[in-house]
Each structure stands twice: as structure tokens, then as C-alpha cells.
């Protein structure tokens, strides 16, 4: 029943809006996009079917209702940022295949020492770093068995005080989940909402948000939130009687020893990974020599190189296509659905009509708007997919910025970063669900700890977007630029 009612409600509201909702100034095409969006939003929010399946609805609804022609609609599913994500994921699959991610993670943890708070910091830094480049779900899944091995080591040691291992287990599981979400905020490919933002900005305004531009903004946010999260988990949320972790250093060494010496494949993959990251970061400079160079081209070149470079297995490349097809095609379809909605909003005039409905917000202090938006998105993503949330909201927020005369980046970036900061519930993000399955956490543990992380993130993101974003990206936050109208 929980899916049947919204499953019926979506198409019913679609029909009602299409037939009976015709306010002044709303064109037939815009009405069709609005009706389709309501149907899609209801199915996304209540997960009537897989959210990627729902993302295919524009291909059916837009052409049949006259909202957008089929050619324009389907072109959105081949957006360049989908191929950027594909290239990044090919790289991520290769890193996982040859266990490079595990070696990097264990070495980061070992470098920080054996104190309990240092062990947690090591896990957080390792998880956040890996989440910058591979999916936060894959990162959490990879870090979970390493974390469980360390918890077991503490539990089995005769010097461990009673219940200390249970506290440590809770803290470490939450540290892995939180840092997987926080780390992904640092890069354009780290979490899907970042790429949805870049795609919507490209679709609506014809402006590219480069990897380097986002990195300059996302990395400081990620580092600050990570430090506050570590401080909160180790000093306030959980108090440990022991300073040193008995046997922890030996356990990390044992896990590293299990990996053996660096393999030929690990070295090659590390070189390709490092070069790709450096090219993304320095791309603006390199365009002086190669004007057509693009983040997507770099990602695709790295992917092609991985398929061409031989491994030590005779005749096999570093990654085969059979292994590559494991990439999350559903997320890429979801990107396409988000881009199709953005194209529909812009092409039909719905964006301008919706923007005109927000005149009451004009004159409100910008910082209050940012705070309200970040808090609302933060709470919404506790129960819905962060990718679906951004795909649904960003096309609406763009015209709203024009109406209230503030720069669109203020609203779009606020919603995007807020979507990655849901820390309270197992269903909020895949990393939360992964660690919840460890058995060390109950829902009250997650809510009690996560609500404070939500509050911290809302305040920090509001301050950074308001005081830092405009200076970093060079725009006036208090007016909508003429060049974008």
C-alpha cells in the first residue's frame, strides 16, 4: 500500500494538471513539463519503482504531451557529464580490482598512529580520500571489513575495559559513513549531486563548472566538515577511557602484510590515477595549449588507457569490458533524467513562470534564504535519494534566483552541498545503510549522533556559501547577472 497509493497518485495528478491547471502565463508546453515533473517527483520521493526507472519517464511523457520533442529529450541522456562520470567510474573499478584502494587506506591509517582517536581519524581520512574518486557506497563497503577487523582486535584484547569495544565500534562505523559522504563533496565526480549541478548550469546557462573550479570550493568544505566530525565523534559523542589502542598497530601491519608487495598493476593504476587527477586540476592552464581539452575528454582518455594497458595476465588489459559493465548505469540514467527535466524547464518557459511565483521572497536577506534552503534540502534527503532531490530541485531554483535577483550559484550550490549531508537515518545515504548493517548501530544511535552532525553541517555550509563562494568563483551574490538572463 505504501507504494500503491503514490504509484496511482503520480499519474492522477499528472492528468489533473494537464487537463485543468491553466493559470495565466503558463504555456501548453510548460503545463506539460509541470505535470510530468509532479508525476516524476512523487515517484522519486516515495520510490514507487527504482528511481532510475522513474528517470526514464521524460522520454515517454515529454514527446507525447508536446512538452519537448523526442530528439531533444533523449539527447539529455547523453550529456557530457554522464561520460565524465563513466570515465571516473572505469578508473574507480580498476582501483578496486587491483586492491589499490585498500593499500592506500591502510597506509593512511598506519601513518597516524595507534591512539583510539588517531585510529578513527585515520579511517576518516582514508575513507574521505577514496570517496573523492570512487563512489561513497563502494568506499564504505571497502572500509567496513577493515573497520570490523580493528574492532574485533580491541574486543579480544585482555586489557580492553568493559563496553569500550562497543563504544569504539559505534564511533568507527559512524566515522566511516560520515566521511564517505563528506569526502565525496570535495570533487566534481565524488558524489552524483555535484555532477547534476554542473549539468544543470551547463544546460540552462551554457557555463561549465570545471573539476578545478569545484575542487577549489569543495575541498575546503570537505576538510572542515571532516575535522569537525572527528572532533565531535571522539571528544563529545563518544568518550573513551583508553588513549592507546592495544594491538591496533599490529593489526594494521598484519592487514598490510596480507596485501604483499606492490604489484605491477597497482603501480600502473596509481600512475594513471595520479596523472588523471593532476590533469583535471591543471586543465584550465593546459587549455592555453589545447583549447578543446575538457574534463570529460581527460576522463575518457584515462578510461581508454586502462582498457589498452596490459596486465601481468597474458592477453588481458588492466580492466576488461566484462568487468566494466558493472558500473552503475542506473545513476547515469538518473543523470539523464535530471538533465531532461532541466531542458524541459528551460525550453518550455516553465522556469520563467515558476520564477515569477517567488516574488514574495524578494528582499529577504540572502543568508536567511541560504539557511532555509540548506536546512530544507538536508531534511528532505534524510528520506529521499540525494541525486533525485537535486535533479528535482535545481531546475526550480534556477528561475527563482532571477525573480529574487540573486546569483543562481547561491541557490544551486546551497542545495547541492546540503544534499550530501544527511547523517541521521540508515535510509538517508548508502554509506549509512552499509554501516548500519554491521550490527554495532541501532537507529536511536544514528539519530542521536546524526542530528548534531546535520546541525553542524547546516550552519557551516550556510556560512561558507554566503561568505566564501562568491569570492572563490568571482561573482556578485546579491544580483542576477545580465549575461545569464
- Name the residue range of residue 126's domain: 80-324
Residue 369 lies in a domain: no
Distance of alpha carbon 440 from alpha carbon 226, whole angstroms: 22
Q: What is the DSSP string of 270-305?
A: HHHHHHHHHHHHHHHHHTTT-TT--HHHHHHHHHHH
Query: How confident is the model over 124-134, as pLDDT tens digits?
Result: 999 999 999 88
**Which three cell numbers, joined as nine digits, stand for 467?**
561568505
Which pLDDT score is estimated for 230? 96
Per DSSP, the chain holds a count of helices (H) and strands (E) of 24, 0
Distance of alpha carbon 226 from alpha carbon 128, whole angstroms: 8
Name the nearest CA neighbour of 464 among 219, 249, 257, 293. 219
Q: What is the DSSP string of 100-136?
A: HHHHHHHHHHHHT-SBHHHHHHHHHHHHHHHHTTS-H
Residue 156 has pLDDT above 60, yes or no: no
Query: How confident is the model over 343-355, as pLDDT tens digits?
Result: 898 889 888 887 7
Residue 458 has pLDDT above 70, yes or no: yes
Residue 228 lies in a domain: yes
Mean pLDDT of 257-282: 91
CA 153 to chain centre: 33
Tracing cell 565523534 back to the chain, one arrives at 233
Give residues with Cβ within 8 angstroms of 52, minimum separation 6: 329, 330, 331, 333, 334, 337
Which pLDDT score is estimated for 219? 96
Residue 70 lies in a domain: no
Percent of the chain with pLDDT over 90: 49
What is the number of domains present in the chain?
A: 1
Residue 134 lies in a domain: yes
Residue 153 lies in a domain: yes
Paired strand residues for 115 = 244
Residue 243 lies in a domain: yes
Residue 310: φ, ψ to 5°: -75, 150
Mean pLDDT of 431-458: 90
Percent of the chain with pLDDT over 70: 96
CA distances (Å), origin 392, targets 31, 160, 163: 16, 49, 44
Contact between residue 364 and residue 404 where contact means Cβ atoms under 8 Å apart? yes
CA 302 to chain centre: 21
Distance of alpha carbon 125 from alpha carbon 179, whole angstroms: 7
SS3 content of the chain, % helix, strand, coil (to 5): 75, 0, 25
Give residues with Cβ within 8 angstroms of 271, minimum separation 6: none
Residue 247 has pLDDT above 70, yes or no: no
Residue 36 lies in a domain: no
Distance of alpha carbon 27 from alpha carbon 44, whole angstroms: 25
* Mean of pLDDT over the chain: 88
179-188, 333-342, 348-357: the lowest-pLDDT one: 348-357
Contact between residue 161 and residue 242 where contact means Cβ atoms under 8 Å apart? yes
Which pLDDT score is estimated for 259? 85
The model's pTM = 0.84
Query: How confident is the model over 18-58, as pLDDT tens digits?
Result: 999 998 888 999 999 999 999 998 998 888 998 889 999 99
Residue 233 lies in a domain: yes
Amino acid at each position: 500500500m505504501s507504494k500503491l497509493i503514490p504509484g496511482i497518485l503520480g499519474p492522477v495528478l499528472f492528468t489533473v494538471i494537464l487537463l485543468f491547471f491553466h493559470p495565466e502565463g503558463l504555456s501548453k508546453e510548460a503545463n506539460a513539463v509541470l505535470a510530468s515533473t509532479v508525476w516524476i517527483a512523487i515517484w522519486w520521493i516515495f520510490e514507487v519503482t527504482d528511481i532510475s526507472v522513474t528517470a526514464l519517464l521524460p522520454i515517454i511523457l515529454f514527446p507525447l504531451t508536446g512538452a519537448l520533442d523526442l530528439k531533444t529529450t533523449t539527447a539529455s541522456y547523453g550529456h557530457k557529464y554522464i561520460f565524465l562520470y563513466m570515465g571516473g567510474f572505469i578508473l574507480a573499478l580498476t582501483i578496486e580490482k587491483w586492491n589499490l584502494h585498500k593499500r592506500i587506506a591502510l597506509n593512511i591509517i598506519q601513518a597516524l598512529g595507534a591512539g583510539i582517536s588517531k585510529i578513527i581519524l585515520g579511517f576518516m581520512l582514508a575513507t574521505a580520500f577514496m570517496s573523492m574518486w570512487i563512489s561513497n557506497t563502494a568506499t564504505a563497503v571497502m572500509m567496513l571489513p577493515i573497520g570490523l577487523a580493528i574492532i574485533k582486535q580491541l574486543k579480544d584484547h585482555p586489557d580492553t575495559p568493559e563496553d569500550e569495544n562497543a563504544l569504539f565500534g559505534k564511533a568507527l562505523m559512524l566515522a566511516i559513513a560520515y566521511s564517505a559522504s563528506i569526502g565525496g563533496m570535495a570533487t566534481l565526480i565524488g558524489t552524483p549531486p555535484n555532477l547534476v549541478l554542473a549539468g544543470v548550469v551547463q544546460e540552462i546557462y551554457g557555463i561549465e563548472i570545471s573539476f578545478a573550479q569545484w575542487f577549489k570550493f569543495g575541498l575546503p568544505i570537505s576538510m572542515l566538515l571532516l575535522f569537525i566530525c572527528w572532533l565531535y565523534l571522539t571528544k563529545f559523542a563518544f568518550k573513551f577511557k583508553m588513549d592507546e589502542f592495544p594491538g591496533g598497530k599490529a593489526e594494521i601491519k598484519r592487514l598490510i602484510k596480507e596485501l604483499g608487495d606492490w604489484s605491477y598493476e597497482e603501480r600502473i593504476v596509481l600512475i594513471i590515477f595520479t596523472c588523471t587527477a593532476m590533469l583535471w586540476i591543471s586543465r584550465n592552464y593546459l587549455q592555453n595549449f589545447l583549447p578543446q581539452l575538457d574534463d570529460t575528454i581527460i576522463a575518457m582518455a584515462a578510461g581508454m588507457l586502462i582498457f589498452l594497458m596490459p596486465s601481468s595476465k597474458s592477453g588481458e588489459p588492466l580492466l576488461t569490458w566484462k568487468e566494466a559493465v558493472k558500473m552503475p548505469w542506473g545513476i547515469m540514467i538518473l543523470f539523464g533524467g535530471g538533465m531532461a527535466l532541466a531542458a524541459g524547464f528551460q525550453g518550455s518557459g516553465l522556469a520563467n513562470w515558476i520564477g515569477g511565483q517567488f516574488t514574495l521572497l524578494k528582499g529577504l536577506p540572502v543568508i536567511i534564504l541560504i539557511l532555509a534552503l540548506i536546512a530544507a534540502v538536508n531534511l528532505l534527503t534524510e528520506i529521499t535519494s540525494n541525486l533525485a532531490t537535486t535533479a528535482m530541485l535545481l531546475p526550480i531554483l534556477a528561475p527563482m534566483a532571477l525573480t529574487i535577483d540573486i546569483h543562481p550559484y547561491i541557490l544551486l550550490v546551497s542545495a547541492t552541498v546540503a544534499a550530501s549531508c544527511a547523517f541521521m537515518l540508515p535510509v538517508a545515504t548508502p554509506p549509512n545503510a552499509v554501516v548500519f548493517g554491521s550490527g554495532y548501530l541501532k537507529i536511536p544511535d544514528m539519530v542521536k549522533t546524526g542530528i548534531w552532525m546535520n546541525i553542524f553541517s547546516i550552519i557551516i555550509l550556510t556560512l561558507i556559501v554566503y561568505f566564501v563562494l562568491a569570492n572563490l568563483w568571482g561573482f556578485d551574490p546579491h544580483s542576477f547577472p545580465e549575461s545569464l538572463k
